[in-house]
């Protein structure tokens, strides 16, 4: 019996790590999609298009699963807060900041969200354990990002103050989003993702129509394809994975994917742009991976990191999001 439980926990941990890597890939590739589209589509309009496409995709997922959107005003208020933290506020601030800061310092500052999760958790919320190993992992992961981006990026810190503060503010919002997400108990990851994107669409589309006049744009097929991939993959699918991982890895564990995104960017650069892999970059990737492992290693029998009791979806939208509730029901019928 014990061996079966241990094997199940091992498979669950392996799935969580795989999903964390996939989430880092989806969000890491968003920079490529944005780069392909933002030359022809203004940043605010691109964000509005991103959340609109994600909303339509997630509504289709809910319809296919037979799930419903929340019916209580209190739930929608919590979804609005989550939407501001994770998309409306964070993406708008980061889009503005990227126009006023070099990419090196911005990459380092954008990767500090696990540090802020750690500080907020240890100092205020204390909703999950923060030990010496997890602290060391957070610092090791951030050091890995510095090595990947290049230590000369640190020399630029403190120069482009407005843009760097915007990048830092985005990281803080991401940190609060990872912590606040635990308040969304009783809703499945797909419902949470859809609700937050509907709020983002309701706010950002009117803002885009007022400020950018998007109807006059004539983007190329490449830009349209990049925006579509950004909405479907880097937003719709990614958010379902994100809110699932909040239930299993916790706030800090889920936020640790920020350390993997820089490595994903290097791999994409090698594959698509023919960039070379330097020893410092390789060491940085190793440190980032090591930091993520240290943060997410199981802490011993009976001490789970589950801090949010989100109801799992009854039918999976994609293979990587299995129905936990369905498996429990099947196990109970065989007892």
Residues 277-290 have pLDDT tens digits of 788 889 999 999 99
Residues in the chain, total: 335
The encoded tokens of residue 94 equal 């980061």
Low-confidence ranges of the chain (pLDDT < 70): 1-9, 273, 275, 299-335
- What pLDDT is recorded for position 324? 42
Q: Where are the beta strands (DSSP E) in the chain?
A: none
Q: How far apart are CA 64 and CA 258, in angstroms?
A: 31
pLDDT per residue as tens digits for the range 120-136: 999 999 989 999 999 99
- What pLDDT is recorded for position 208? 96
Stated pTM of the model: 0.84
- What pLDDT is recorded for position 240? 98
Q: Which of 148, 147, 122 is nearest to 135 (CA)?
A: 122
The angle subtended at Cα 283 by Cα 104 and Cα 28, nearest 5°, is 50
Rg (CA), the chain: 20
- What pLDDT is recorded for position 300? 54
- What pLDDT is recorded for position 255? 96
CB neighbourhood size of 230 (10 A): 28
Q: How far apart are CA 35 and CA 273, in angstroms?
A: 13
Q: How far apart are CA 148 and CA 266, in angstroms?
A: 8
Q: How far apart are CA 136 and CA 13, in angstroms?
A: 21
Q: How far apart are CA 188 and CA 207, in angstroms?
A: 29
Task: For the chain, give every domain's residue range.
Answer: 2-333
């Amino acid at each position: 019996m014990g061996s079966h439980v241990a094997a199940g926990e091992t498979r669950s941990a392996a799935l969580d790590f795989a999903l964390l890597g996939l989430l880092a890939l989806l969000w890491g590739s968003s920079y490529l999609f944005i780069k392909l589209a933002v030359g022809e589509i203004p940043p605010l309009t691109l964000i509005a298009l991103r959340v609109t496409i994600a909303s339509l995709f997630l509504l289709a997922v809910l319809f296919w699963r037979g799930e419903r959107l929340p019916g209580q005003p209190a739930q929608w208020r919590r979804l609005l807060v989550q939407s501001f933290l994770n998309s409306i506020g964070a993406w708008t601030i980061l889009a503005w900041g990227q126009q006023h800061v070099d990419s090196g310092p911005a990459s380092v500052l954008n990767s500090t969200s696990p540090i802020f999760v750690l500080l907020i958790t240890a100092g205020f919320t204390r909703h999950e354990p923060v030990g010496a190993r997890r602290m060391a992992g957070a610092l090791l992961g951030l050091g890995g990002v510095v090595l990947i981006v290049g230590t000369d990026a640190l020399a630029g810190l403190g120069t482009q103050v407005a843009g760097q503060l915007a990048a830092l503010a985005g990281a803080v919002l991401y940190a609060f989003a990872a912590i606040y997400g635990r308040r969304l108990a009783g809703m499945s990851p797909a419902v949470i993702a859809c609700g937050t994107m509907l709020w983002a669409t309701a706010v950002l589309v009117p803002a885009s129509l007022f400020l950018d006049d998007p109807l006059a744009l004539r983007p190329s097929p490449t830009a349209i394809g990049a925006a579509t991939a950004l909405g479907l993959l880097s937003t719709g699918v990614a958010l379902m994975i994100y809110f699932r991982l909040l239930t299993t890895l916790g706030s800090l564990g889920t936020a640790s994917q920020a350390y993997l995104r820089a490595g994903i960017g290097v791999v994409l650069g090698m594959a698509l742009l023919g960039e070379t892999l330097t020893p410092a970059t390789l060491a940085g990737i190793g440190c980032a991976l090591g930091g993520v492992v240290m943060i997410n290693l199981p802490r011993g029998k009976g001490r789970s990191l589950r801090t949010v009791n989100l109801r799992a979806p009854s039918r999976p939208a994609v293979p990587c999001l299995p129905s936990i509730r369905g498996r429990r029901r099947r196990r109970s019928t065989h007892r």
